[in-house]
Amino acid sequence: MTTNTGADTIFALASGALPAGLAVIRVSGPAAGRALESLTGGPLPRPRRATLAVLGSLECTLDRGLVIWFPGPRSFTGEDVAEFHIHGGRAVAAAVLAALAGIDGLRPATAGEFTRRALAGGKMDLTAAEGLADLVAAETEAQRIQALRQAGGALGRIYDRWRDDLTWALAQLEAAIDFSGEDLPPGLTEAAAVKVRSAADEMDAHLTDARRGERLRDGLGAAIIGAPNVGKSSLFNMLARRDAAIVSDAAGTTRDVIEAHLDLGGYPVLLADTAGLGRAEGDVEAEGVRRALIRAAGADLKIAVFDAATWPETDAGTARTVDENTLVVLNKCDLASPPGDATVGGRRAIAVSARTGEGIDNLLKAITEKAASICNPAESPALTRARHRATLEESRAALGRFLKDVDEKKGVEIIAEELRLASRALGRITGRVDVEDLLDVIFGDFCIGK
């Protein structure tokens, strides 16, 4: 049996830029089976089995490749889906796409249209669709782990469970409304309040997560700071594994903030090299210092660099910025090696040499550990977008009003309304309600299956 939504049939290149070894073209909709028969000239292959086929017509062979037939609802979109795994040449893909365009009822998909159909077909919720987009965009191992879990529905399941709890609570209140005037069964509102309180507590825990999911998705900000000439740019180049920043023995070489996207131990880090603190000879250097301080203040992680050759004498200005999000580094340990238990600003220093590479592994390990403590994806699933946070906060606020109204013994109709608002907000996160309003915003900047 096949399932179709009655929509038209769409097709698109589902794989990446051409030329490539392979290209995958996906077709979804009621005419997918007919398209497959038309291009292979044969009956439909066994469902979900890769089958070798010659594509084209008697007069003109387009390519030889594998075809897979996914009759709905067991397909990506829930509709009938056909996939063509062909050679990834531009002309090959163009020829197959042109042949599909020539079939009655088929048209090219628009951006994100396959995913929209998967949502409409109930194959995934909105958070899973976002997870899929994040998985495609994931650049590091930790991002991959987080995105894969979200794409598998881990976030959506949490929100659905809370929504079920609120629906149950609402049912108690509605029963109370129905009974009003008659003998009200005791305890309905209280039972609802108990359920809501527990969901609200879980929401609070989920929301007070130090933004770890969002930070992992967006990348952590790290800033290298320190006095002029301590070797910040040398260290930056070493960590970035390229000569991105100018290094010289003149103090005040770096003036602007220089950035590099890095994968450090599986965590995405946007590392910034900054101007030396403390020295501000002239407007340009003063501006450089101002920018360095702004960057340091906004960073998830600071790497404060000091000169090993002068230790225990250290730059007081930099030492003052050391806090629990700071890794302290004593650079130039090739010139003088500080004791293993050397500290600056109360933190154990990591001795490195940006010249010889000594100690860099220890620094990398410390950065990775710090990143893991900020946004380890192995912990419980975390929300990953500002959209999730804002909508959850909306839901939580309505629950707060509900609980207050219950305490104040307000009328059951009034308190039920707050529960409806809270439940509706949860439904918007997963796309169970008001989904059309959200799709354009969400799919505006990414497309899957197209």
Ligand X SMILES: Nc1nc2c(ncn2[C@@H]2O[C@H](COP(=O)(O)OP(=O)(O)OP(=O)(O)O)[C@@H](O)[C@H]2O)c(=O)[nH]1
Q: Which of 163, 332, 388, 424 binds ligand X (CB under 6 A)?
A: 332
d(Cα 167, Cα 201) in Å, to the nearest integer? 17
CA distance 163 to 173: 15
Does residue 233 touch Mg ion according to CB under 5 A? yes
> In the sheet where 326-331 sits, what is the strand order?
258-264, 267-273, 220-226, 301-307, 326-331, 347-351, 343-344
CB of 68 closer than 8 Å to CB of 82 = yes
Q: What is the rounded CA–CA span in Å between residue 377 and residue 359?
A: 27
| Binding positions for ligand X, 204-243, rule CB under 6 A | 226, 228-234
Stretch that binds ligand X, among 101-109, 177-185, 349-357, 429-437 (CB under 6 A): 349-357
**Would the CA dihedral through 178, 181, 183, 189 be positive or negative?**
positive
How many chain residues touch Mg ion (CB under 5 A)? 4
If DSSP codes are grouped into helix, strand and coil, which group holds residue 335? coil
Could you tell me which residues come within 8 angstroms of residue 393 by beta carbon, excluding any fewer than 6 positions away? 207
> CB under 6 A: which stretch of 257-265, 330-338, 389-397, 432-440 binds ligand X?
330-338
Answer for which of 40, 254, 318, 395 binds Mg ion (CB under 5 A) is: 254
Among the residue ranges 224-232, 290-298, 312-320, 340-348, the one whose residues contact Mg ion (CB under 5 A): 224-232
Query: Cα separation of 252 and 249, whole Å?
Result: 9
Which CB, 319 or 419, lies closer to ligand X? 319
HEC assignment per residue over 415-431: HHHHHHHHHHHHHHHHC
Is residue 49 within 8 Å of residue 25, measured between CB atoms? no
Binding piece for Mg ion, criterion CB under 5 A, among 17-25, 115-123, 251-259, 364-372 = 251-259
Give the amino acid at 31: A
Q: Is the peptide bond before 73 cis (omega within 30 degrees of 0)?
A: yes
Q: Is 124 exposed, middle or buried (0-12, 13-18, 19+ CB in 10 A)?
A: buried
Q: Look up residue 173 and give its amino acid.
A: L
Q: What is the DSSP letter of 19?
A: S
| By CB under 6 A, residue 254 contacts ligand X | yes
What residue 200 binds from ligand X, Mg ion, none (CB within 5 to 8 A, per partner kind)?
none
Using CB under 6 A as the binding rule, whether residue 276 contacts ligand X is answered as yes
User: Site residues for ligand X, window 146-205 (CB under 6 A)?
Assistant: none
Minimum distance of ligand X from residue 260's CB (angstroms): 14
Stretch binding Mg ion (CB under 5 A), from 26-34, 158-166, 228-236, 298-306 = 228-236
Instruction: Decide: is 391 part of the binding site for Mg ion (CB under 5 A).
Output: no
CB of 286 to ligand X, least distance (A): 14
Residue 119, binding choice from ligand X, Mg ion, none, Cβ under 5 to 8 Å by partner class: none
Q: Assess 247 for contact with ligand X (CB under 6 A).
A: yes
- Footprint on this chain of Mg ion (rule: CB under 5 A): 232-233, 253-254
Binding site for ligand X (CB under 6 A): 226, 228-234, 247-249, 251-254, 275-276, 331-332, 334-335, 353-355
